[in-house]
Structure 1
Amino acid sequence: MNLFNHWKRDFPASLVVFFVALPLCLGVALASGAPPFAGLIAGLVGGILVGYLSGSSIGVSGPAAGLVVIVLNAIADLGSYELFLTSVILAGIIQILLGIFRAGVIGYYFPSAVIKGMLSAIGIMIFIQQIPLAFGFTGNVNTDRIDLSGLHNHITPGAILITGISLSILLIWDGILAKRNKIFKLVPGPLIAVIIGILIYVTMGTSGFFALEASQLVNVPIPKDVSSFFGQFTLPDFSSLTNGSVYVTAFTIAIVASLETLLSVEATDKLDPQKRQTPTNRELIVQGIGNSVSGLIGGIPVTQVVVRSSANVMSGAMTKLSAILHGFLILLSIVAIPRLLNLIPQAVLASVLLVIGYKLANPKSFVQMYKLGKAQFIPFIVTVVGIVATDLLKGIVVGLTVGLIVVLLKSYYNSHHMLIKEYKGKKNLFHINFAEEVTFINKGPIMKELDALKKNSFLELDFRKTKVLDYDILEYLDEFSIKAKNNNINVKLIAERETLDNPESFRKYFGHQVFHLEH
């Protein structure tokens, strides 16, 4: 697919992703204890370099919130940001090796319910996190015991006004105007919301009742000249490569960043309307290249990020051009228009993310998962609650664990099927069909069925579909054959020689009872 075939859709989408990514780049860097400019470096590397090399058509990479705690602790433990950058470069090299050794298949082993739960949880978290920005909360609000009579002391009327107008623009633009005229599809609603937000701030928000504080605006570093701009780039410290902590940090970043990328790839591919598949091994290699370059010029680690990728999809992106352009927009903004960007109220960006969060955590998706049954809904809802209550990785681990338990329980009960029928005058004839694979997990329900048989019964054990029969099952059937003889239970074994690896092994375990081997 030509990179510019769908530029009419990719360019508007890149603007939306840019407005979403810009505050996230700054916020993640600050939360990680890194210089704010380090987040912007990671954003443009993730957009331009990773976006160009990636095999994903709609995935967007940049600094990830999932690595905040790791980065914060690593910088403190290593003692310097420059030494931390060395770990980022080494982490990139490890990721490249993981891709070369085809570790990307790990992402395929996560159940669909867990991935969908992750998307919904991220949507809920995005929505909740934007509420303070949308209302312009100031000071410390006691969330456990809020005095409603004094709540107005913690909110900013100007932020509420901008949020209300921005949400109205976004909803009307996509829900009504874009459906009536093609021109509204070419111009993204978030761009209009940003322009209107700036105008409101300039005309009403600098003083008076609707005034906004400096902390309620975007804050991009403003270089005084060319030298001060390049002075914001930090070089890594290679003098302590013998320090074992550097390698421990590198390995930790590589594993967590790779896992977060693979999960994001899996989730983003599910959102893709065209259902294109991202080559995961290539993605690990590309992410590794991105991290090595980011660390080399002073940036924090990058991963493919669900928030930016989902914003990209929701905005109608078709190719990787959108991700690349968003990286160039970050570069252009910090070079050419940092002062203009610093006029954007955070309430506008919060409005964009509120809409995205609602789309990801749409109540309809919860209803759909519930209708799919317990096997899908339980891992889904556990993942949602786990991520919201703890963090991304812990929630996914909990959801995956529950998903595995559900699979094991399903296998536990689906090892066999018993039929009760009358055949040739035999009234108590029980026929049991066994599954293709019968393991020790299935021993319990099989024992329950056979131990409940009455005396003088007729039993057929049908293994014609069985490919794998665990030793534990054979051992129990051997024990049961003694009980069958004592209770006058006539047992007939039905198995095909080509079905089992060694059907004659039955005779070894069933020597106490006469069985008929059919084939």
Structure 2
Amino acid sequence: MNSTNSISLKNLGSDLPAGLVVFLVALPLCLGISLASGAPLLGGVIAGVVGGIVVSLVSGSQLSVSGPAAGLTVIVLNGITKLGSFEAFQLAVVIAGVLQLILGFLKAGIIGHYFPSSVIKGMLAAIGLTLILKQIPHFLGADKDFFGEMEFFQFDGRNTFTEMVYAFEHIEKGALLVGVISLLIIVLWDKPRFKKYALFKFVPSALIAVIVALGINYFFKASAPVLTINTEHLVQLPTMDSWTKLVAQLTQPDWSALGNMDVYILAITIAIIASLETLLSVEAVDRMDPLKRVTPTNRELKAQGFGNFISGLLGGLPMTAVIVRSSANINAGGKTKVSAFFHGILLLISVLFLSSVLNQIPLSALAAVLLVVGFKLTKPSLYVSQFKLGLEQFIPFIVTILAILFTDLLIGISIGLAIGVFFILKANYKTPYFFHKEKHKQGEVIRLQLSENVSFLNKASILLTLHHLPDNSEIIVDGSKSTFIDYDVLDAIQNFKINAQERNIRLHLQNIPEVVSTNAH
């Protein structure tokens, strides 16, 4: 059985601390996205809980984390306004979930394989840069915009860069001090020289940073009131101290809106955008996975559809697989879906029992966590390695970064994809391409003979073929007849080589060039 279909408890030592880090990152994001969407604050937390607990159980991805996405903020805000009530909007989320389930059964997930690696890597690098740019104001204690905002143009009329200028002119000294200390703790705690000690290995640096930040702010209140961090720069969780109060806050969809055509238009919009963002995210997560496991994309669409169906019923926002949380999960050492599940449990517990403590956490400490995540996504070495691959890889990569920085995720990806397709068509102008698999019997060696010219357009069929090869088999991938093999195909084969070891597949590559991995970690 493919490893993506099972839950393993043998990695609890890695997954539980990673789940804690994801929880610390996800909580303010859930609240901030709710705030920006004009929805009840609890709506974002509900989506986070459902994404963590429900979607992780149904999904085939081991490392992606689902929850409310900043990319859907404008759609949610406009949808609630147009429909006239949040309850009518809930109905649209329920219907969107059903549509995603249908897309999964129709096997629409294959579209995720048609995004060039240069565009996916550009997306990751752009998200890293965006995280850094967006968190600096929170780090300085001078940003009143919601935590987790990812758009270039902001609700207060500023943009990403003018917001930074404003932040440097209105620094809150206490928040900055907490942020700097938190960042130093995270960087030093994660140094390899300390990882040989059990405390440094199993206790996440983000947790230590948050605990120290809490202590510093309490010290400010008692001994240096001038440095005390303002409430608007702390986590702001709704206070509910019992299960009864939580249930009382849940709202039901307005079923009377079933006759409103605007509900269905909004549902289709949410289903399409959420599905695209999910497929892009899981493709990126698979690239960052050290084990190179492959997420079954059709199953992921079903999981997201089921999650949105449940979230809509309970009063939650629509969700996607979210690259920020997923990156935090991988960087914190998560190994399986247990970490995502655990983060969902912690979100639920936090709503019920921990709001008074969590509401004292400075956002500058959480910004420090995301600054580190952002840097790991957009390391300088990534740009160097992409440049060395040639202009046909570097140009789509850098265009995607710039487009996302100055617009948003989906528009930027679309622009990068258009540039990537141009180079693909240019490469495929002269010669045809095909992928051939010889017939084989049980126990015989399977030979996959590549054609004379193998382009990126062959990537999806090659991935599908490799993914369905039987475990415990012997495979030869032969490129001896190939005069050109696209980098994306080579990258997919090299990633499969790592995954094959887990499935006990003996893989032999003949005349297949080695490629240098440029995946972010």
Indicate the TM-score class for this superposition, using the shorter chain for normalisation. Answer: 0.7 to 0.9
Distance in 2 (CA, whole Å) between partners of 1:332 and 1:224 is 10
Note closer, same or farther for the CA distance 1:142–1:411 as it changes in structure 2 (3 Å cut).
closer
Distance in 2 (CA, whole Å) between partners of 1:299 and 1:146 is 30
Distance in 1 (CA, whole Å) between partners of 2:27 and 2:164 is 35
Distance in 1 (CA, whole Å) between partners of 2:69 and 2:143 is 26
Query: Shift of the alpha carbon at 1:340?
Result: 0.3
Query: Shift of the alpha carbon at 1:3?
Result: 2.3
The one-character-per-residue Cα deviations of 1:300-343 (angstroms, maximum 9, x if unpaired) are: 00110100111111111111000000000000111011100001
Is 1:160 matched with 2:176? Answer: yes
1:196 to 193, 212, 216: 212
Q: Which residue of 2 aligns with 1:295?
A: 312
2:423 to 382, 393, 406: 406
Q: Which residue of 1 aligns with 2:348?
A: 331
Distance in 2 (CA, whole Å) between partners of 1:177 and 1:209 is 38
Note closer, same or farther for the CA distance 1:372–1:146 as it changes in structure 2 (3 Å cut).
closer
Q: How does 1:242-321 map to 2 (within 5 A)?
A: 242-321=259-338
Distance in 1 (CA, whole Å) between partners of 2:12 and 2:162 is 51
Q: Which residue of 2 aligns with 1:212?
A: 229
Query: Shift of the alpha carbon at 1:152?
Result: 7.2
1:50 to 41, 55, 59: 55
1:378 to 390, 395, 402: 395
Note closer, same or farther for the CA distance 1:210–1:279 as it changes in structure 2 (3 Å cut).
same
Query: Shift of the alpha carbon at 1:278?
Result: 0.5
Is 1:19 matched with 2:35? Answer: no
Query: Shift of the alpha carbon at 1:153?
Result: 6.0
The one-character-per-residue Cα deviations of 1:372-400 (angstroms, maximum 9, x if unpaired) are: 00010011011000111100000000000
Q: Which residue of 2 aligns with 1:174?
A: 190
| Mapped contact 1:55–1:278 kept (Cα < 8 A) | yes
Distance in 1 (CA, whole Å) between partners of 2:270 and 2:277 is 10
TM-score normalised by length of structure 2: 0.77
| Mapped contact 1:138–1:155 kept (Cα < 8 A) | no
The one-character-per-residue Cα deviations of 1:235-291 (angstroms, maximum 9, x if unpaired) are: 110002111000000000000000000000100000000000011001101100000
How many residues were matched structurally? 422
Structure 1: runs of 5 or more not aligned? 416-434, 438-463, 467-519
| Mapped contact 1:19–1:349 kept (Cα < 8 A) | yes
Distance in 2 (CA, whole Å) between partners of 1:386 and 1:161 is 33
**Cα root mean square deviation, aligned:** 2.6
| Mapped contact 1:158–1:205 kept (Cα < 8 A) | no
Query: Shift of the alpha carbon at 1:228?
Result: 3.2
Distance in 1 (CA, whole Å) between partners of 2:21 and 2:324 is 12
> Which one has the largest radius of gyration?
1
Query: Shift of the alpha carbon at 1:141?
Result: 11
Distance in 2 (CA, whole Å) between partners of 1:317 and 1:146 is 33
TM-score normalised by length of structure 1: 0.77
Counterpart of 1:214, as a letter, is T
Q: Which residue of 1 aligns with 2:113?
A: 108
Note closer, same or farther for the CA distance 1:224–1:231 as it changes in structure 2 (3 Å cut).
same
The one-character-per-residue Cα deviations of 1:203-259 (angstroms, maximum 9, x if unpaired) are: 114752312110010000002655432222111100021110000000000000000
| Mapped contact 2:137–2:163 kept (Cα < 8 A) | no
Secondary structure of 1:304's match? strand
2:87 to 82, 86, 100: 82
Distance in 2 (CA, whole Å) between partners of 1:394 and 1:178 is 42
2:42 to 37, 44, 47: 37
Structure 2: runs of 5 or more not aligned? 1-5, 145-155, 433-451, 455-480, 484-521
Aligned identity (percent) is 50
Counterpart of 2:141, as a letter, is G
Distance in 2 (CA, whole Å) between partners of 1:268 and 1:152 is 34
